[in-house]
Amino acid sequence: MILPWFFILDLGLWGMAVAVVCWAWPKTGIIWRVSSCSTAVLVMIFQSFNEILSRQVFQAWTFSYEHNRMIGVDFLGEPIEEYLFWWAFAWLIPFFYVGLVGWFNKWDARRGLPAPVSVDE
């Protein structure tokens, strides 16, 4: 059996993205949550257009199902693995940043320092 390595990698990245969102969510207020979610959705939309432009219009790269182990499911004419990969990062990066800001704010508060950026609003 040939394992679909790209899909397995995507599932791992989505697992990390879900873990980071669950880690950062309680550390932030509603404004930061809405900002992070809207950023992720916008990046997903823009990256979808980028995938279509890069592959179909500019022909920047190609895929061969004979050489690349993929599951064979396409979305908007492209392998689903490409979208899943970039969409995972769309959620991972903003929430990781917000979670770190919230974590360092609590760390500074324990040391008696004022928080330069508040994620509690």
Q: Across the 121 residues of the chain, what is the mean pLDDT of every consecutive 10-residue run?
A: 84 97 92 94 95 85 72 84 93 94 77 70 61
Q: Which domain holds residue 28?
A: 5-107
Q: Is-contact 102 29, C-beta < 8 A?
A: no
- pLDDT value of position 91: 97
Residue 99 lies in a domain: yes
Residue 17 lies in a domain: yes
- pLDDT value of position 60: 78
CA angle 12, 31, 111 (to 5 degrees): 80
- pLDDT value of position 65: 67
Helix (H) or strand (E) holding 27: none
CA dihedral of 85, 88, 90, 92, whole degrees rounded to 10:
-130
- pLDDT value of position 59: 83
Domain count, the chain: 1
Residue 81 lies in a domain: yes
Residue 100 lies in a domain: yes
- pLDDT value of position 36: 95
- pLDDT value of position 1: 57
- pLDDT value of position 115: 67
Quick one: residue 105, left, alpha or beta (phi over 0 = left, psi -120 to 50 = alpha)? alpha
Residue 121 lies in a domain: no
Q: Which two tokens stand for residue 116?
A: 């330069």
> φ and ψ at 74, to 5 degrees?
-110, 150
Q: Is-contact 59 53, C-beta < 8 A?
A: no
